[in-house]
Amino acid sequence: MANTPQAKKRIRRNDRRAEINGARVSRIRTFVKKVELALTAGDKDAATAALALAQPELFRGVSKGVIHKNTASRKYARLSKRVSALG
């Protein structure tokens, strides 16, 4: 258990940040899932629109530090490849 006031403060801060970061990651997953649902439905227009919304969300996660830059780039590349292969 934390003994110093600073360590106690860090625990409080880490709890707050974990909640915020969890919400950010969840939001990113939701946007990616929308693209994948459009892909499975075979709707290229919807998939393209969903990908256009997911891309800034992915890279916002990178700038906030919740996902790694290469992870976001890989996810976006794989999704865009699947969208362009559709139709």
Tokens of 9: 């403060």
Residue ranges making up the domain that contains 60: 5-85
- 24-74 pLDDT, tens digit per residue, is 999 999 999 999 999 999 999 999 999 999 999 999 999 999 999 999 999
Q: Which residues contact 74 (CB under 8 A, 6 or more apart)?
A: none
Q: How confident is the model at residue 87 (pLDDT cuts 50, 70, 90)?
A: confident
Confidence of residue 2 (pLDDT cuts 50, 70, 90): confident
CATH no. for residue 19?
Answer: 1.20.58.110
What's the domain count of the chain?
1
Q: Kindly report the number of other CB atoms within 10 A of residue 34's CB atom.
A: 17
Q: Chain-centre distance of CA 15, in angstroms? A: 20
